[in-house]
Amino acid sequence: MSETETAAAAATSTERKPRRLRGHKKGAVTCCVASSARPGVVASSGEDGCLCWFDLRTKDVLLTIEAANKPISSICFKSGNEDHVYVSAGNEILSFDIRMGSQSKPLETYNYNRDEINQIAVSSKGYLAAADDSGDIKIVNTTQKCLYKRLREAHTSICSSVQFIPWRPWTGYCYCSLFLCFI
């Protein structure tokens, strides 16, 4: 066997055929997050209102939680504790403890946004940010379970994305506008 044939055979044997992860009941998957604490574990949310956990080393879904009776737009793990997950559905944010299994009920519900939430993000300091269709960003203190800050009217259209960036001012982004808030 020549070197090129050996290399081609090795490449073919290491290539994996993509596979479909099955677990959601209907509709599209809206968000997918990889676990940093558990290698190979992926959590997804969908239009069916369900959260699904997959171990990519197996073919089956590990866990399904019926989280909401409406589509889930975003999902994120609590910083430092990936057994705790936050999801946004409509204008609400719900938190779940996945150790409770498929019977898990919301531990907390935050309803501070006035319009549909597009994305949520959690900081290492316990703050939860939610960007919504009205252009607002709401910051929730999850330790004290209260609204911490409103970044209002910074956008004239929807705010589609929000992230915490360590060692930087708080930011919110929509199209070509960037809004900074120093705390």
Write out pLDDT tens, residues 36-45: 988 889 999 9
Length of the chain: 183
Contact present, 49 and 89 (Cβ < 8 Å): yes
- Residues 135-159, mean pLDDT to the nearest whole number: 86
Q: What is the pLDDT of residue 90?
A: 95
- C-alpha Rg value of the chain to the nearest Å: 19
Confidence band (pLDDT; 50, 70, 90) for 182? very low
Of 70, 73, 97, whose CA–CA distance to 83 is shortest? 97
pLDDT tens column, 11-45: 555 567 777 778 888 888 999 999 998 888 999 99
Separation of alpha carbons 35 and 109, rounded Å = 23
**Distance between alpha carbon 150 and the CA centroid of its chain, in Å?**
21
Q: What is the pLDDT of residues 112-135, one digit of tens each?
A: 999 999 999 999 999 999 999 988
Residues 155-176 have pLDDT tens digits of 677 888 888 887 766 555 544 4
Given this model, what pLDDT does residue 96 score? 95
Identify the structural domains of the chain with CATH numbers, from first to last: 25-181 (2.130.10.10)
Rounded CA-CA distance 147/83 in Å is 23
Per-residue pLDDT tens for 88-112? 999 999 999 999 988 889 999 999 9
How far, in Å, CA of 86 to CA of 106, rounded? 9
Share of the chain above pLDDT 90, in %: 52
Residue 69's pLDDT band, with cuts at 50, 70 and 90, is very high
**What is the predicted pLDDT for the residue at 169?**
61
